[in-house]
C-alpha cells in the first residue's frame, strides 16, 4: 500500500519564512531559502524537517537528531548538533505551534469532506435560511428555516443546523454534528459528532412518575471557542447555557443545562459538569473530573483529573481528590495513608494511640 500523506506542507516554506514568523534571524551558516517540508519529533525527524525541544527529558539524545531546524529554549540550545538551524526562543512549544499553523493551515480546522467550495449537491437547505457569500456546505447537510450562517463558514457532511440557529463568520461544523437552539460567534470550531443545544436533563420527580420539565433556554457560544468530537452541551432550562470566549473543550465532555463557563477555560476529555454550575475565566478541569450542580469554580482554579467537585472552589486554587479538596491537603492525606500501609499493624496502633491521646486532652 502506498504511503498516504493527509497534510502537505506549503511548498515554499523555508528557513527565511520561519525566522520571520518567529521574529528572529536565520542562524549563521544556513541559507534562508532552505525548504522545510515537514514536522517531526526530534528522534524521528529527517532532513528538511522542523522539530522543537522544550522538555529536558529529551535533551540527552537531542544531539542525534537529523532535523534541519529546531526551535528550542535557551537552556537546552547547546544540546543540539551543529547540523541543524537552531532558533532560540522563550516559549518553544508555542512558537512550534505557530510554525505548524503556517506550514499546515489545512490542519487548523476540519475541511470539507466533499472537495471544493460552495453548496454541494445533495445538501438540504431550507429556502428561508440565509447563507452569506463564501459558505461551504457538504452533501447531506440539513439547514433549517431562518438559520443564518456567516461568510467563510464550513458545514461538513451530514451536519444538521436547526431552525433559527445563528452561526458567525469562519465557523466550522464537523461531520455529523447537530446544532440546535444555539447562537454561535465567530471563528468557532465544533468537531465531528458534537451535539449542541439538545434538551437539558430536567424532571420533576415524584411517586406518580417523573414529569418532564420543558427546556426553553439556549446555548450561547462566544468567539474562538473550540469544541471536541462527540461532546454534548445541553441548552438551558430557563436561562442560557454559555461557553465563554476562547474556551477549549476536549472530546467526550458533557455540559449540563444552565452551565456558565467563563473565558479561556480548558475542559479536558470525559469531564462532566452538572447543571447550573458556574466556572470563572481561565479555569482548567482535568480529564474525567466532574462537578455536582449549582457550584461555583472561581477564576483561575485548577481541578485535577478524576476529581469530584462537590462545593464551591475559591479563585486561583488547585484542588483534587474525591471529594475534591485543596491539592496540598489531598497530597498530605495520601502520603499519610501510604505511610500507614507500609507500617502495617504498627501504623494502625500508632494511629489509635494518637487518637486516644487526643481524646484524653479534651
pLDDT at 41 over 70: yes
Among left, alpha and beta (phi > 0; psi -120 to 50; other), residue 179 is beta
Cα 265 to Cα 188: distance, rounded to the nearest angstrom: 15
- The catalytic residue among 49, 126, 257, 264 is 257
Q: Give the pTM.
A: 0.91
CATH class given for the domain over 15-107: alpha beta
311-342 tens-digit pLDDT: 999 999 999 999 999 999 999 999 988 888 88
CB burial string 132-161: b at 16+ within 10 A, e below: eeebbbbbbbbbbeebbbbebbbbbbbbbb
CA separation, residue 224 to residues 148, 152, 317 (Å) = 18, 14, 26
Cα 100 to Cα 71: distance, rounded to the nearest angstrom: 12
The pLDDT of residue 2: 60
pLDDT at 234 over 80: yes
Average pLDDT of the segment spanning 180-206: 97
The pLDDT of residue 1: 47
Residue 14, classified by CB atoms within 10 Å of its CB into exposed (0-12), middle (13-18) or buried (19+), is buried
Query: What letter would DSSP give residue 35?
Result: B
277-286 tens-digit pLDDT: 999 999 999 9
64-114 tens-digit pLDDT: 999 999 999 999 999 999 999 999 999 999 999 999 999 999 999 999 999
Average pLDDT of the segment spanning 174-183: 98
Instruction: Point out the least confidently predicted range of 108-117, 133-142, 218-227, 237-246.
Output: 108-117
Instruction: Name the 3-class secondary structure at 17.
Output: helix
Cα 214 to Cα 218: distance, rounded to the nearest angstrom: 12
pLDDT at 269 over 50: yes
Domain range summary for the chain, segments of one domain joined by +: 15-107, 327-360
Q: Which is it for strands 160-161 and 178-179: parallel, antiparallel or unpaired?
A: parallel
211-231 tens-digit pLDDT: 999 999 999 999 999 999 999
pLDDT at 210 over 80: yes
Whether residue 345 contacts residue 351, with contact meaning beta carbons closer than 8 Å, is answered with no
CB burial string 28-58: b at 16+ within 10 A, e below: eebeeeeebbbbeebeebeebbbbbbbeeeb
Instruction: Name the 3-class secondary structure at 198.
Output: coil
Taking all residues of the chain, what is their mean pLDDT, rounded to a whole number? 94
Q: Is 133 a catalytic residue?
A: no
| Rounded (5°) CA angle 286-288-290 | 85
Amino acid at each position: 500500500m502506498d504511503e498516504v500523506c493527509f497534510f502537505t506542507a506549503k511548498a515554499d516554506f523555508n528557513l527565511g519564512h520561519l525566522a520571520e514568523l518567529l521574529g528572529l534571524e536565520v542562524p549563521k551558516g544556513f541559507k534562508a531559502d532552505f525548504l522545510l517540508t515537514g514536522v517531526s519529533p526530534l528522534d524521528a525527524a529527517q532532513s528538511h524537517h522542523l522539530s522543537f525541544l522544550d522538555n529536558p527529558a529529551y535533551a540527552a539524545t537531542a544531539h542525534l537528531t537529523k532535523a534541519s531546524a529546531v526551535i528550542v529554549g535557551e537552556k537546552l540550545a547547546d544540546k543540539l548538533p551543529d547540523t541543524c538551524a537552531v532558533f532560540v526562543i522563550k516559549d518553544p512549544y508555542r512558537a512550534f505551534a505557530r510554525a505548524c499553523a503556517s506550514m499546515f493551515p489545512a490542519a487548523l480546522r476540519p475541511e470539507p469532506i466533499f472537495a471544493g467550495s460552495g453548496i454541494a449537491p445533495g445538501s438540504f437547505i431550507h429556502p428561508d435560511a440565509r447563507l452569506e457569500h463564501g459558505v461551504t456546505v457538504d452533501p447531506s447537510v440539513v439547514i433549517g428555516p431562518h438559520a443564518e450562517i456567516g461568510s467563510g463558514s464550513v458545514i461538513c457532511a451530514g451536519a444538521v443546523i436547526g431552525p433559527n440557529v445563528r452561526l458567525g463568520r469562519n465557523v466550522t461544523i464537523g461531520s455529523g454534528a447537530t446544532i440546535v437552539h444555539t447562537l454561535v460567534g465567530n471563528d468557532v470550531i465544533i468537531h465531528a459528532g458534537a451535539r449542541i443545544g439538545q434538551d437539558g436533563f430536567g424532571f420533576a420527580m415524584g411517586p406518580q412518575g417523573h414529569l418532564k420539565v420543558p427546556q426553553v433556554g439556549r446555548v450561547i457560544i462566544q468567539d474562538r471557542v473550540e469544541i471536541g468530537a462527540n461532546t454534548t452541551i445541553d441548552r438551558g432550562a430557563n436561562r442560557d447555557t454559555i461557553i465563554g470566549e476562547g474556551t477549549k473543550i476536549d472530546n467526550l465532555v458533557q455540559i449540563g443545562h444552565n452551565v456558565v463557563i467563563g473565558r479561556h477555560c480548558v475542559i479536558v476529555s470525559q469531564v462532566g459538569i452538572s447543571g447550573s454550575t458556574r466556572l470563572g475565566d481561565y479555569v482548567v478541569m482535568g480529564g474525567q473530573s466532574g462537578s455536582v450542580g449549582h457550584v461555583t469554580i472561581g477564576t483561575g482554579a485548577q481541578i485535577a483529573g478524576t476529581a469530584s467537585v462537590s462545593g464551591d472552589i475559591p479563585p486561583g486554587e488547585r484542588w483534587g481528590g474525591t471529594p475534591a479538596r485543596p491539592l496540598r491537603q489531598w497530597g498530605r492525606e495520601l502520603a499519610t495513608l501510604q505511610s500507614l500501609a507500609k507500617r502495617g499493624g504498627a501504623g494502625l496502633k500508632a494511629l489509635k494511640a494518637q487518637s486516644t491521646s487526643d481524646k484524653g486532652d479534651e
